[in-house]
Structure 1
Amino acid sequence: MQNPLFETQWPPDEVQDLIRAGALIVSNHSGGKDSQAMLIELLKISPAAQMLVVHASLGEMEWPGALEHAEQQARNAGLPFVVARANKTLLGMVEARFDSRPDVPSWPSAQHRQCTSDLKRGPIEREVRRYAKEHGFQTIINCVGLRAEESPRRAKAITWRKNETNTTQSRAWFDWLPIHHFNRDQVFEAIREAGQELHPAYGLGNDRLSCVFCILANSNDLRNGAVRNPELYQRYVELEQKTGYTMHQSRRSLPEITGIHIDGCSQEGQRTHEKKPE
């Protein structure tokens, strides 16, 4: 398959130069299709000895088997695999915020995604720094399988940049979106050509994979998650009811989106991500 990532050259010269100089290539892997396709592409340009696969475990909040799927792909390629875990959970964060500030939205939003920063990015960066120090890497290329096709906001994302926050006198850190230009068909094609299987949730009809109930998920994925994970779904619905705020960016409650209602949970008086009137 012809690589569609860059009109002129892929990987960019700077990436090639850093790999030749011994940079560590970090492949963030959620267990989803984009992470899987990205790792396939990265294996084409980097020696295995310079690669690390890292998974931010969301515990019961992520689709069952996501961690194992990511780990299996890494192991099959002979790559080290590290699990990054936060010291808190999404529902715990929501409850704590509601207890301390019931007057403001309790759930993360598309504009303020504490779920990503606190549960994924922060723990991953911690584990990558530790691994790089232990193995003597002074340059890091941190790769994420974010694609332009997914949303207008992601289409505007910077595909290559130096991360000044994580760069120190002894360490250079770069962030790269290697498959930013891939469309959905190209993602699936890369996986098929590699002879790999997708996470089973895709076979159940999911479009995306990570959290079972994501603030950005479409209605099909949320409904699928509710059907396949009823106990977790009930906890989300009950917490929406307790806080009075909806978790989804559409500002509709989960039962409104999925059509699946929980006995004893009324949706009357449900607030949204917006701050309630004074």
Structure 2
Amino acid sequence: MNQSELFAAGIAQLPEQIINLIARGAVFVINHSGGKDSQAMYLMLRDLVPAAQRVIVHADLGEVEWPGAVDHIKATTAGEPLHVCSSRRGLLQMIEERGMFPSPSQRQCTSDLKRGPIERTVRAVTRERKADGIEAWGLVVNCMGMRAEESPGRSKLTPFKRHEGNSKAGREWYDWLPIHDWTTGDVFAHIAAAGQSPHWVYAAGMSRFSCCFCIMSNKADLTTAARLNPDLYRRYIELERSTGQVMMMPSKKHGRQTLEQITGVMAGEGAIV
């Protein structure tokens, strides 16, 4: 099939609401962490949404983010406007001030470092564009790369819905999970089919991206991250000691464990190169 035939086939598989929003000139905001899911989602949207209707937003996580995230985004996208935003406080500062780490039930790392800055940025961008007379920029489709396969919680997410809290002041806002039903295999295959590679951390052994050390990580990822980023790992160990808390939730099998107990990597050990 030629490019126009591929486009038509892709459009035919989209929900009717999305087809209508594309036709109405909605701006599609692509949340891009630099990870594999964001990359695959971008590639899907690149082939379906006109370039003038695509904007990329990246929440910079500062010192806890894997190096090269923004460079990777720029290298694998087509030059759409890229808005990099951040919280006024970094994650480690938040932990120090609160005296505790985020948890699966209290994920300030998501709300404060990602969702909040991104939504503020999107609102500011749409206000500016509407002020320039581009009325369609009051119509927002916020695209995120969460997938059902990742966790029971994410499997229950609604793939498309109107965001009432952000649909105000002349703005109509929808949240969309374009690859919610994709498998990990689908994600990597889509990236490869585009002639691209995912961020280097996957080849280094990581299965997750975003924060180097995530409260949702498994033992293998924590161990790999400790070897790849020993200086940051040491800071997490220091925070565990200074707060008297541990980063990871206790497990039924092992109970409460420090990062050193989980990974077997003692703070101060060198990185694997």
TM-score normalised by the chain length of structure 2: 0.88
Which amino acid is the alignment partner of residue 225 of structure 2? G
Cα deviation for residue 160 of structure 1 reads 0.8
Q: Among all aligned residue pairs of Structure 1 and Structure 2, give the percentage whose two residues are the same amino acid.
A: 48
Cα deviation for residue 176 of structure 1 reads 0.5
CA contact (8 A) 2:55 2:81 kept: yes
Cα deviation for residue 229 of structure 1 reads 0.7
SS at match of 1:141: strand
CA contact (8 A) 1:216 1:249 kept: no
Match of 1:121 among 92, 109, 115: 115
Match of 1:56 among 34, 56, 59: 59
Cα deviation for residue 59 of structure 1 reads 0.9
Which amino acid is the alignment partner of residue 121 of structure 2? E
1:27 aligns with 2:25: no
Cα deviation for residue 244 of structure 1 reads 1.0
Match of 1:110 among 85, 92, 104: 104
Cα deviation for residue 72 of structure 1 reads 2.2
1:14 aligns with 2:17: yes
Q: Considering only aligned residues, what root-mean-square deviation do their CA atoms show, in Å?
A: 1.7
Query: Which is richer in helix?
Result: 2
* Gap runs ≥5 in structure 2: 1-5, 7-11, 131-136, 251-255, 269-273
CA contact (8 A) 2:230 2:267 kept: no
CA deviation string 1:169-221 (max 9, x = no partner)? 40011101000000011001100000011100011011011100000011111
Aligned to 1:256: 261
SS at match of 1:14: helix
CA contact (8 A) 1:48 1:78 kept: no
Aligned to 1:272: none
SS at match of 1:226: helix
Once residues 139 and 22 of structure 2 are traced to their aligned partners in structure 1, the CA distance between those partners, rounded to angstroms, is 9
Cα deviation for residue 239 of structure 1 reads 0.2
SS at match of 1:256: helix
SS at match of 1:140: strand
Aligned to 1:82: 83
1:135 aligns with 2:129: yes
Cα deviation for residue 10 of structure 1 reads 2.9
Which amino acid is the alignment partner of residue 198 of structure 1? P
SS at match of 1:123: helix
1:190 aligns with 2:190: yes
Once residues 261 and 142 of structure 2 are traced to their aligned partners in structure 1, the CA distance between those partners, rounded to angstroms, is 38
TM-score normalised by the chain length of structure 1: 0.86
CA contact (8 A) 2:103 2:215 kept: yes
CA contact (8 A) 1:248 1:254 kept: yes
Cα deviation for residue 262 of structure 1 reads 2.5
